[in-house]
Amino acid sequence: MSDVLRRIEIPIALTIIATLIQVIPYYVNIPVLDTVASRASNSVLLIVAYATFIGVISILQVHGKRIQRQSEGWYYSILVIGFTVIMALTGLPLPEAGLGVNNNIYNWLFTNVLTPLGGTMYSIIAFFITSAAFRAFRARNLESAIVLVAGTIMVMGNAPLITNLIPPIADISLWIREVPNMATMRGVMIGAALGSIALAVRTLMGIERGYLRGGQE
């Protein structure tokens, strides 16, 4: 019996069934299949919601071990665990106990800790860009010169101070965005879509087995 359950045809069949349940109602209106697809999607939402708990457990395990072993920077792990526990507990959906989305601690931590930290992380990019602008954006050959000029015009087109002083810059940056960029992006999107279709067909036919036992028979 256990040998039968280990047969590779079973997960392949399950993949094919699950895929067709989602794909067919997208193109054909069959009420029964539509209901089945809807229920399958809802069950995925539940699985994802449950997976959140795995994330919390994983954080506790990883950082718990770092604290236990006093590895480098272990004191940061105390902060991670501390804030994870506080946010998880204060955010529990128990409004009658004063917990949940309206809890003051939960909202205070979001507004005064998470928001400025997130903004700071994003803002750090500005420093890397300025350093790269000075050290890496060099016209070493024709190709890099084209990229450099186009990139610089795009930067200038996003600065009201420059577009106000030199109005044609706005038009040129708009042209770069809507002609060469659009053509390239459209090509990339069509290529990626064709690749996805090919992968889906291979998976449905059981040829693509990379997701099963590491692709081995």
Partner 1 sequence: MSLLERISNLDRRWIYLLAWVFVLFPLLNPLGLPIPISSDAEKWYAYVENEINDGDVVLFTPMYGVSGMPELFPMTVATMKHLLTKDVKIIVVSFWTEGPLVFNTLLTQVNPEDFGYVYGEDWIRLGYIPGSETAMGSLARGIQNTVAADYVEGRPLNSFPVMEGIETGEDIDIIVSFETGTPGTPEWMRQFNAPYGTPQITGCIGVSVSGMIPYVQSGQLQALMPGLTVSAEYEILLERPGLAVAGVDAVSTSHVYIVLLVILGNIAYFLTREER
What residues line the site for partner 1 (CB under 8 A)?
22, 26, 34, 37-38, 41-42, 44-45, 48-49, 52, 93, 95, 101, 107, 110-111, 114-115, 117-119, 121-123, 126-127, 129-131, 133-135, 137-139, 148, 152, 155-156, 158-164, 167, 170, 174, 177-178, 181-182, 185-186, 189
| Least distance from partner 1 to the Cβ atom of residue 13, Å | 21
Output 59 or 162, the one with its CB closest to partner 1.
162
Least Å distance between CB 131 and partner 1? 5
Which is nearer to partner 1, 148 or 204 (by Cβ)? 148
Nearest approach in angstroms of CB 199 to partner 1 is: 16
- Taking the complex as a whole, the smallest distance from the CB of residue 52 to partner 1 amounts, in Å, to 7
For the beta carbon of residue 15, count every other beta carbon within 10 angstroms. 17
Report the residue number, 7 or 39, with the smaller CB distance to partner 1: 39
User: Distance (Å, rounded) from C-alpha 106 to C-alpha 82?
Assistant: 13
Tell me how far apart the alpha carbons of residues 208 and 47 are, in angstroms, rounded to a whole number: 25
**Cβ closer to partner 1: 74 or 110?**
110
99 neighbors 89 (Cβ within 8 angstroms): yes
Query: Distance of alpha carbon 146 from its chain centroid, rounded?
Result: 31
103 contact partners, CB below 8 Å, separation of at least 6: 90, 91
Residues written for the chain: 217
First to last CA, the chain: 19
Instruction: Copy the structure tokens of residue 164.
Output: 């106000």
